[in-house]
Chains A and B, each alone.
Chain A
């Protein structure tokens, strides 16, 4: 145990009076409120926290933030289990349970680590070069088990997520000194300003020091009304300056969380301008075995000491090539960590008075790290002459300069430029709608960062041009130079185990584009997205191929900046709120009357009303039979309904439908087919004329949205001089369909006026009427082939009519029927159902409307497409009826028609099939190649290895003369 808790006052963020217990890999440990899991583990002397992706190398805590590649844990249990959580970001909570990922049986004795023994066989892309014989499938399962990190939960998430949209003039991302300065300046200049800070504190890199400037700016921000959101990480910038951010709301992992909490909030913020002040990431140097637990970023160790009161080790060696490392060394020394030496790659270090007493080894590098599960020492060599020295230490601090966090700038479409000597990529000017300030703009000198940020803030608030960034101040730092490749590994990407040798291999094999390098070696593809590895990888590639880093370039930055839960992206759109499901106005009534409900598209509606143990199919048979013999009641409320009004309504409907609507007399109704311009069927429906200028249009349930959209598009975009308005009224009207020979008798019993009687009202006509004080629109039409009334009435009254009718059902012997029986009835009549018998390739002639088209002289939408060669092909699939030759076997829907069993060229398929209660035999509709000319022919239907002989028939099967509709 080498890391430990320091004595107070170290630890600005922890509350030593508040102990917190937690469990790590089954061990009970203690930390303080204010700790992160990482700081608490370090305080407990836990170094080894995980295993790497490919080689299962032991790994420790590397950073103190979002860039963490190694310290990933699975947190929680059951419905709250969360995989791959960064220990460095997870606030410690009482009762938190965490486990290491990617190791078995334990993180200390991980069997996966045997791969380490074969590491030499597993260079970048090794899997592309082998596992080909006999095939990949043989090896794949084992490889899959080795890969992956955490374990996915098995239960549905218990918690809630919500979404919040906001608008602001200036949005500042990042609450460090630069962000604060920009926000305060913007607000002072009168702009509505919002500031997002990813962490729990303002102040960024300075948050844990008592910095008077941070304090002053923070309170100024509050006074000026800047909307400050802590715990809110901006993860992406999208079109037209939409910034999306995730706000963490709950005490993740706490044992006493309520059963359901609001866990995270998605912020969708539209900003007139965005100021990125996201800071910079410290970059590591490469040296052999630089991945051992105990090697970590210098700045992180600094933060652990000051903010959390944790010494990450007792004896530290600092590997450096930049000035920042000296500050860290001095500060850690003050905190009680022995600094064995600063090993600086540069000729002259940056030591000043503050660093007196620190041993500096210049122009040297680490050439070995000793210790496997924890650092025990290192070997340092002079770059010049190779002279070596072994140093005992338990901590190696790595400090290779900074990489500005240019993620948002790049996502917004900003360009980068490379500061040659330090291999630092900084924004090249501004991005559309976004300006960077502070460290993420490459401005590291504190005073310069603050004044530039303030100037940017006020300029943008006033709509002015932002001043250019005074880049610099990061201290001298040289781009890493490659060390001779020894036998040991220098890790570039810690999570994915990409080494400098892998980069060299990629160069050797000509995967030299930086994007090839990434994909071939997987560098930068881990959960940290290369925040501390991408720069090293591209610099190495440059060195191997003789290119400057600028020539190599960076890989593409993509959202999210840090991984975000799927839950927060979906927000409330889960469970019942995923997509609205529509219910009938009389939903409860149907439930009370034994409906078996199913989803049909967006609607939840009765499929049938089974009695007792009756199956759906049997119920439908009984219901359909009763409709034919007596009468039945169907709730057809979902049927689409439109009112089309205007002096040009008739002309318009003539253009929309195959079928002439202008010649309808008032009160008359007609069937119509709606086509798209490509000639294929979009919908069918019934159009009735309510008055000279006013039409009633019924669409199919599924076709309603398409029909309305098509009407509006044609009216507004093509026939722009037509005076027509289209008003959807589907929800206004319930539709109760009464069908069967005794339909009228039934309606008369509840008091429908005699003017609606079959004798007074023809088939295919519509009457407005009043019943029980409510307005009715009664359409005589029939999808069942029986005398039929579609009674449209105000939606809220549906239940009244149903109840009143149902009171007479028993005496009549009438039934309720559902969609399934309706299907049986319409198939007996040979009526098509759009979307079931037809698909998006069906033309009107295919379903028997060739004559209707010939008869109509006027143009209509889609007409021209019907005369293309392919539309006139006699081999097209055409609607026919089928009956099984044996009179018994139900023809399977989806069965293929072909003279011989598969494989064969199919001639068509069965589209609808039912046992006909009327005929007592199975019947079917089918689409058959050239079908209209093949009536009477014998065919074979093939289905899942069976085959049935059938005869082609001309529908309808029942009442071919169509007499029953008249009652």
Chain B
């Protein structure tokens, strides 16, 4: 069981959170083609390595936030707000 840092509540056990999957996905306009709509809905990098993802602290403050987490070691290298850019993108 991992421990994640909620930006508001601090370190908490994994089972206080839900994972919302990959973050920084741009939602296309209504006029998008079927292909780009499908890409938005389903196609993911699914990296073996650092994954930028969003989590919600459902059992605590209810806030969504972003994590950079390694999908093999499960090490968390960054915690940042929903509206922040990805780490390292300056």
Contacts and interface: CB of A to CB of B under 8 A. Distances in A.
Contact of A865 (B37, B54, B73): B37
A238 B1 contact: yes
A868 B64 contact: no
Contact of A239 (B27, B56, B74): B74
A432 B73 contact: yes
B45 interface: no
Interface stretch (A323-331, A713-721, A801-809): A713-721
A720 B27 CA distance: 13
Interface in B2-34: 2-3, 14, 18, 20, 23, 27-28, 30, 32, 34
Interface string A232-257: 00000011101000000000000000
Interface string A523-562: 0000000000000000000000000000000000000000
A678 B40 CA distance: 10
B2 A240 contact: yes
Interface residues of A, number: 23
A240 B64 contact: no
Chain B interface secondary structure, helix, strand, loop or mixed?
loop
A602 interface: no
A869 B34 contact: yes
Contact of A716 (B14, B63, B73): B63
B35 to A, nearest CB: 10
Contacts, number: 51
Given A238-B1, A712-B62, A678 B41 contact: yes
B82 A242 contact: no
B54 A717 contact: yes
Contact of A859 (B1, B30, B34, B62): B30
Contacts of A678: 41
Contacts of B41: 677-678, 865
B20 A720 contact: no
A240 B82 CA distance: 24
B83 interface: yes
Chain A interface, DSSP helix/strand/loop, else mixed: mixed
A151 interface: no
Nearest to A868: B34
Interface string A828-869: 000000000000000000000000000000010001110011
A863 B64 contact: no
B3 A270 contact: yes
Contact of A720 (B2, B56, B83): B83
Interface in A673-722: 677-678, 709, 712-713, 716-718, 720
Contact of A864 (B3, B30, B58): B30
Interface in A262-292: 268, 270
A239 B1 contact: yes
A413 interface: yes
B27 A718 contact: yes
Nearest to A705: B58
Contact of B82 (A709, A717, A859, A869): A717
A717 B64 contact: yes
Nearest to A242: B1
Nearest to B2: A239
Contacts of B58: 709
B1 A712 contact: no
B22 to A, nearest CB: 11
A864 B37 contact: yes
A216 to B, nearest CB: 36
A720 B37 contact: no
A464 B44 CA distance: 40
B83 A240 contact: no
Contacts of B14: 239
Nearest to B36: A864
Contacts of B34: 868-869
23 contacts: A238-B1, A239-B2, A239-B74, A240-B3, A240-B74, A242-B1, A270-B3, A413-B73, A678-B41, A709-B56, A713-B56, A716-B56, A716-B64, A716-B82, A717-B54, A717-B64, A718-B27, A720-B82, A859-B30, A863-B30, A864-B32, A865-B41, A868-B37
Given A240-B3, A413-B73, A712-B62, 20 more contacts: A239-B1, A239-B2, A239-B3, A240-B1, A242-B3, A432-B73, A678-B41, A709-B58, A712-B56, A712-B64, A713-B20, A713-B64, A716-B56, A716-B63, A716-B82, A717-B23, A720-B82, A864-B28, A864-B37, A865-B41
Interface of A: 238-240, 242, 268, 270, 413, 432, 677-678, 709, 712-713, 716-718, 720, 859, 863-865, 868-869
